[in-house]
Structure 1
Amino acid sequence: MNPAAENRSGLWVAVASFVLWGLMPLYWHLLKAVPSMQVVAHRVVWSTLLVVAWLLWKNGRGWLRAALARPRAAWMLALSGALIGFNWSLYIWAVNAGHVVESSLGYFINPLLNVVLGVVFLHERLSRAQWVAVTLAAAGVVWLTVNFGQPPWIAICLALSFALYGLLRKLLAIDAVTGLGVESVYLFLPALAMLVWGEAHGQGGFLPLGGAPGWGMGMDALLIFGGALTALPLIGFAFAVRRVPLSVVGLLQYIAPTLQFLTGVFVFHEAFDQQRLVGFVFIWAGLAIFALEGLLRSRRAARVMPAPLPAREA
């Protein structure tokens, strides 16, 4: 495949991944009758089976040993697995508790929080535009806190857990799908134990296995396919990020929270009054400055990059 075609295919795969992530609240809402922790446990179990099967097919039986042979990989992936498990649990609970709009706010904040963590832990320096962007986002959070009597905890916890997850994965520098596979292996047994305990005590309804009436075959199929919905966008993202400039990926990532926000307001009819709008506008303004500054910086870097030397003939 020529570079232009690879870039084009990577772009479409990236868009599809972010659209799928953005529309996921609609899917998790279909599982509203299932307790949130049961949904998370099923998500972990079925995504683990899918991701591990992919890695076995792609890298052979030694993939796990090779991944854990990296320095610090064992404990860092255990910690990142705990963070992503917490993130999934909070997100699914928030969606089915009627907090899709606030959840989307968390993923709008996330890129700016990544910048702050880069300054604190990686000693990166912010440009003036990035400081303005972070300040505007902070002002939006403060506005929402003052007007509603408490911080938007769901958004903050989602953003912080995912930003810390991203920091750990950046420090470890492991392939996205391989890292997800190791994290999934860590989470698999606790998730399976939770499901078995629930079925044994009549709190589950899968198939049904534990004597409970069951949720029905349609719901069981949705729970199983939820594992694929967990893994496929990340695999697509890993495919795309190698073929599309990171500046483009950085702009495309806002597709997901935008779709989540629109779903919360126009599909689930969640409250979004003028006071909330003011807070969101501060945050969106910060994101616009952040995205524009990143795009301009990448274009300047491309202009100063020396042209490749012509290949010598044999």
Structure 2
Amino acid sequence: MPVNKYYSAAFIAFFLWGFFSFALKPLHNYASLDILFYRVFFSVLTMVTINLAFRRNVLRKDWRQFKSSTLRQKRSVISLTLGGAVFLILNWFVFIYVVNHVSVKAASLAYLICPILTTVFAFFILQEKLSKIQWIAVMISLFSCVLLSFNHFTDIFYSLIVATTYALYLVSQRKNSQMDKFLALTIQLLFTAVVILPFYPSYSGALPTEPLFYACMFFVVVFFTIIPLFLNLYALKGINSSAVGIMLYINPIITFLVAIFYYNEQVSTLQLFSYFLILISIVVFNAKALFSRRILLLNKK
């Protein structure tokens, strides 16, 4: 199957996530835990309904495959799926807190650091190989993140937590290739819901009554949770986690532009230069895939 559709899936996922603050910012008066609770519960309800209504054949097929697997394979699938759920829920909670209580730019910085960590984790954990030019792209990215960290140490602290949790999620799900991606995501969210449900009565606020809350949660669940996460996992079927990780830069670039032009957050010349370097690093990292395809199309003409 052509590689470009996996790149397209990753691009669309991270492009959508770049506008996540549009749905989160109107909810800044709600506690981060409340937003997390309802995001998880509504996502689970939606995904379980989709699986039971439209994907029963996939459920039966994956269940037969799981039962016929060896004990070692079963343990691997379970640990990777549930471990991914832990990384995902930590990432969500800290990200929501950062957007609503630190700054949109800090959330953007987290996903600038994430591709570097993803590449490093993939290199050491998955033994994914990178070419010299891809390592150059990683170094350019690292340099740009160092520039962005100047005088923003609080942002760096939160950004590192967000970045590390999502990088580990990406790497773990690259290895989790034996299960249908949509089903895996459903199980992860269902597991997360079961884990956080006991905390809901004690740590949740009053039941939201504003229509705005439920309208925003609809967009959070559909456009900023189910669709991009599925596209992200789908992309991991065809391209390695390092490539998906570097595509993650699309998210913070859009988030950064939104922070400047929509939320009017202050930006320095140094920050603009750093983001320009990141754009260069994306092109350099994906140069082979981008330009080899272009040359192929020219030869066909």
Name the residue aligned to 1:310: none
TM-score, normalized by length of structure 2?
Answer: 0.77
Q: Percent identical across equivalent pairs?
A: 24
The CA distance in 2 between the partners of 1:249 and 1:100, in whole Å, is 22
How many residues get paired?
285
TM-score, normalized by length of structure 1?
Answer: 0.74
Once the two structures are TM-superposed, the CA of residue 294 in structure 1 deviates from its matched residue by 4.1
Q: Which amino acid aligns with 1:37?
A: L
Q: Which has the larger radius of gyration?
A: 1
The CA distance in 2 between the partners of 1:37 and 1:221, in whole Å, is 18
2:226 to 192, 209, 231: 231
The 3 A distance-change label for structure 1 pair 169 and 35 is same
Name the residue aligned to 1:192: 197
Q: Which amino acid aligns with 2:213?
A: M
Once the two structures are TM-superposed, the CA of residue 42 in structure 1 deviates from its matched residue by 0.7
Name the residue aligned to 1:182: 187
Higher helix fraction (1 or 2): 2
Q: Which amino acid aligns with 2:220?
A: G
CA RMSD of aligned residues (A): 3.7
2:282 to 246, 268, 287: 287
Once the two structures are TM-superposed, the CA of residue 284 in structure 1 deviates from its matched residue by 3.6
Map 1:128-277; keep pairs closer than 5 Å.
128-149=132-153, 152-173=156-177, 174-198=179-203, 203-206=204-207, 214-223=208-217, 226-229=220-223, 230-235=225-230, 254-277=249-272
User: Given that residues 249 and 278 in structure 2 are in contact (C-alpha distance below 8 angstroms), is that contact kept between their aligned partners in structure 1?
Assistant: no
Once the two structures are TM-superposed, the CA of residue 185 in structure 1 deviates from its matched residue by 1.4
The CA distance in 1 between the partners of 2:237 and 2:124, in whole Å, is 27
Once the two structures are TM-superposed, the CA of residue 297 in structure 1 deviates from its matched residue by 5.7
Q: Which amino acid aligns with 1:91?
A: F
Corresponding position: 1:21 with 2:17: yes
SS at match of 2:206: coil
The CA distance in 1 between the partners of 2:135 and 2:7, in whole Å, is 29
SS at match of 2:140: helix
Q: Which amino acid aligns with 2:35?
A: V
Q: Which amino acid aligns with 2:156?
A: P
- Give CA-to-partner distance per residue, 1:275-308, whole Å, 9 cap, x none: 43344344443333213244246668x79xxxxx
The 3 A distance-change label for structure 1 pair 190 and 237 is closer
User: Given that residues 112 and 287 in structure 1 are in contact (C-alpha distance below 8 angstroms), is that contact kept between their aligned partners in structure 2?
Assistant: no
Name the residue aligned to 1:123: 127
The CA distance in 1 between the partners of 2:293 and 2:186, in whole Å, is 32
Once the two structures are TM-superposed, the CA of residue 26 in structure 1 deviates from its matched residue by 0.7
The 3 A distance-change label for structure 1 pair 149 and 51 is closer
Bigger drift between 120-129 and 284-293 goes to 284-293
The CA distance in 2 between the partners of 1:112 and 1:119, in whole Å, is 11
Name the residue aligned to 1:37: 33
Once the two structures are TM-superposed, the CA of residue 103 in structure 1 deviates from its matched residue by 1.7
SS at match of 2:20: helix
- Give CA-to-partner distance per residue, 1:123-143, whole Å, 9 cap, x none: 233211112111122222333
Q: Which amino acid aligns with 1:179?
A: A
- Give CA-to-partner distance per residue, 1:157-191, whole Å, 9 cap, x none: 22221111111111111332111111111111233
Bigger drift between 111-120 and 233-242 goes to 233-242
